[in-house]
Amino acid sequence: DGGITQSPKYLFRKEGQNVTLSCEQNLNHDAMYWYRQDPGQGLRLIYYSQIVNDFQKGDIAEGYSVSREKKESFPLTVTSAQKNPTAFYLCASRRQGSTEAFFGQGTRLTVV
Residues near other proteins, by CB under 8 A: 6, 33, 35, 40-45, 48, 50, 58, 88, 90, 92, 99-106, 108
**Based on CB atoms, which residue is closest to other proteins, 33 or 64?**
33
Peptide bond preceding 39: is omega within 30 degrees of 0, i.e. cis? no
Picking from 52, 47, 83, the residue whose alpha carbon sits closest to that of residue 65 is: 47
CA 47 – CA 55 distance, rounded (Å): 7
**Based on CB atoms, which residue is closest to other proteins, 65 or 88?**
88
Picking from 110, 98, 63, 109, the residue whose alpha carbon sits closest to that of residue 82 is: 63
Say if CB 72 and CB 24 are below 8 A apart: yes
**Based on CB atoms, which residue is closest to other proteins, 41 or 84?**
41
Say if CB 24 and CB 4 are below 8 A apart: yes
Give me the least distance between CB of 34 and other proteins, in Å please: 12
Give me the least distance between CB of 103 and other proteins, in Å please: 4
Give me the least distance between CB of 58 and other proteins, in Å please: 7
**Based on CB atoms, which residue is closest to other proteins, 16 or 42?**
42
Give me the least distance between CB of 99 and other proteins, in Å please: 4
